[in-house]
Structure 1
Amino acid sequence: MSKTIRIGTRDSELALWQAKTVQNALESTGHKTELVPVKSTGDLNLDQPLYEMGITGIFTKTLDVAMIKGEVDIAVHSMKDVPTALPKGIVEGAIMKRASNKDILIHKGIEFLENGQGTIATGSLRRKAQWLHKYPDHKVVDLRGNVNTRLQKLDDNEWNGAIFAAAGLERIEIKPENFIDLNWMIPAPAQGAMLIVAMENDEYSREALSLLNHKNSETCVHIEREFLRVLEGGCTAPIGGLARIVDNNVHFKGALFSLDGNKKIEVERSLPLEESNQMGHECAIQILENGGRDLMREIKAVLNN
């Protein structure tokens, strides 16, 4: 059997770059493809903070529906946007080799970091909480839109800077020179990774995608997403998690923050690769037993009001 694999994607510049990367990879293995761009709810509503919209899956639901309706065969996502539980009938097809997992600050001069006053823009609860944990006297304002829109908003406002994922800016080659790496900031689980999903019953597409999977990236992001899944219980929260494989050992660092950044519960662990299957789950339980359950209740109470 042979068919043209229809690739569903959001229609932002970054999403299209990701989809075309997958398209090129599939075609290099002899498969026929077609791009099918769609608008997601998350792209259409730029006035409301993501957490108020029920962030879980806001950028993926439109593509999920298109897949289930048979309008596309596979969908390409920034993996950090994908809920930890996929819809029934949709499965992971491949995780591409991970790009940079770093957060970076695009700034208009970094003097403000020394004087205690500043305004930073981000639409992420995780980035906001970690920034306020380090700079409690700064102001953090909401920032929405695709990467181009957010860069323009930074130019148009009196903010000192805005936080971005390095991978997105690097992929479409618009990373400016005025940035600093936020090496102290724990990234979102699966940040920098691309996930391709397919229908569970679509053996042709799943077999094609299996050729694109990067095993080490898969191992790391699965640990991070299991950490997220056990902690959040379906609730958006300021959670960071990063797994790295070094010399056949997996190193993991994760943390849960309060919304205002005042509280931080952190875990760090290293295990041999062959013993890391339950690492994400075990690290999440350690956080929950170290005050995380109470903190998650506080976060849910605020966000649900």
Structure 2
Amino acid sequence: MNRKLTIATRGSALALAQTGMIAEQLTRLTGVEVAITVVTTEGDTSRASLSSIGGTGVFASALRAALVAGECDLVVHSLKDLPTAPYPGLVLAAVPQREDPRDALITRNGLTLADLPEGATIGTGSPRRVAQLLSLRPDATVVDIRGNVDTRLAKVSSGELDAVVLAAAGLTRLGRLDAVSEFFDLAVWPTAPGQGALAIETREEDDIPQLAYIRHDESRLSIAAERAVLATLEAGCSAPIGATARLEANTLTLTAVVYSADGAEELGGERSVELPSGDEATHRQLRLELASALGHDVALQLLDDGASDLAQLGGGR
């Protein structure tokens, strides 16, 4: 008989929707009974900007502490919120199939970014999005905002802001894609490493075979490459960095861009690697290692080009 699994998650509508999706998939595919427990994180209680309280990693710490303490069997994170440094005793046990990684613009009248009036007020809590917005619309007034998806959408509908930028994946999971005025093309607007993907963490010593049913190798490879850029640059989750990896046949291509805070300057790099085929565990591990090495190499290229000085990053040569 399958043992019952307990998943810990944040209490926001989006976090609960994401976790509920994982719980439903596990039950449907394996028959395991799944319970959900809510953990409050510092990122949920503080109204300060994310950059001032430690970046998006503040959403992960309380969940990880609950997992280490044995209060749950696994936790579900938005992968872009997960710090790149390993956490003692925990492993990234599964990455399900990734949702749309793009950013989306929400305006009142369906206006695109180019169509917004001179001096438009646009809300975001992301330094990367601030830089990208100012790069394309230096006349805009970009406002730092916090709050859940509904709170942010309400700032537009009420007229407090002309627009907000949100992740398409979150809007999809909440059934709010109808609010989108424009999706930003990844070729000109790369998003946060891991955006659109979920991370399932477990204790290192635990074996939860049911997770094999929801793992998605292609998504895992893409986020491994993207997150290796962050790790090599020694940049936090909220740094002004965009990265996009795509797998076509056996070719993994990674594009990464580092922005100055004001969006006036940017540095980009792109490389590809051929991955071996095969489903054996050794092949899967080799592909992951090659994906991570690709991200590392792109980051080194960016550092050589001056990315550390451009965005005040911790990485160096």
Q: 1:145 aligned to 2:147?
A: yes
User: What does the per-residue CA deviation read over 1:102-157, in whole Å, with 9 as the maximum and x for residues that have no partner?
Assistant: 10100124377355421110000111111111111211001111111211222234
Q: Which residue of 301, 304, 314 corresponds with 1:286?
A: 301
The yes-or-no answer on 1:185 pairing with 2:177 is no
State the alpha-carbon separation in 1 of the partners of residues 180 and 99 from structure 2: 20
1:220-242 Cα deviation digits (max 9, x unpaired): 00000001111134584201001
**1:182-238, CA deviations, whole angstroms, 9 ceiling, x for partnerless residues?**
1121111011001110000112x2x22233210000000000000111113458420
Deviations 1:143-172 (A, max 9, x none): 111111211222234322000101101111
Counterparts of 1:171 and 1:221 in 2: how far apart (Å)? 19
Match of 2:252 among 246, 250, 253: 250
Q: 1:233-265, CA deviations, whole angstroms, 9 ceiling, x for partnerless residues?
A: 458420100100113211211111111111101
The aligned counterpart of 2:92 is 92
Q: Which runs of 4+ in 1 moved over 4 A?
A: 233-236
Sequence identity (%): 37
Count of paired positions: 296
Aligned mates of 1:189, 1:273 — CA distance in 2: 20
> Structure 1, unaligned stretches of length 5 or more?
301-305
One-letter code of the match for 2:195?
A: Q
Give yes or no for the alignment of 1:70 onto 2:70: yes
Pairwise mapping of residues 115-264 of structure 1 onto structure 2 (< 5 A)? 116-183=118-185, 184-203=188-207, 205=208, 207-234=209-236, 236-264=238-266
1:270 to partner: Cα distance: 2.6
In the superposition, the TM-score normalised over structure 2's length comes to 0.88
- Deviating more after overlay: 250-259 vs 226-235: 226-235
- How far is 1:76 from its partner? 0.5
Give 3-state SS (helix, strand or coil) of 2:152's partner.
helix
CA offset digits 1:250-289 (Å, max 9, x no partner): 1211111111111101012233234843110000000001
- Which AA in structure 2 matches 1:211? Y
Shift, 1:33, TM fit: 1.6
Please, what TM-score do these two structures have when normalized by structure 1? 0.91
Q: Hey, what's the Cα distance between the residues in 2 that align with 1:182 and 1:233?
A: 23
Cα separation, 2, equivalents of 1:221 and 1:83: 13
Q: Which residue does the alignment assign to 1:303?
A: none
Amino acid at match of 2:38: P
**1:108 maps to 2:89:** no
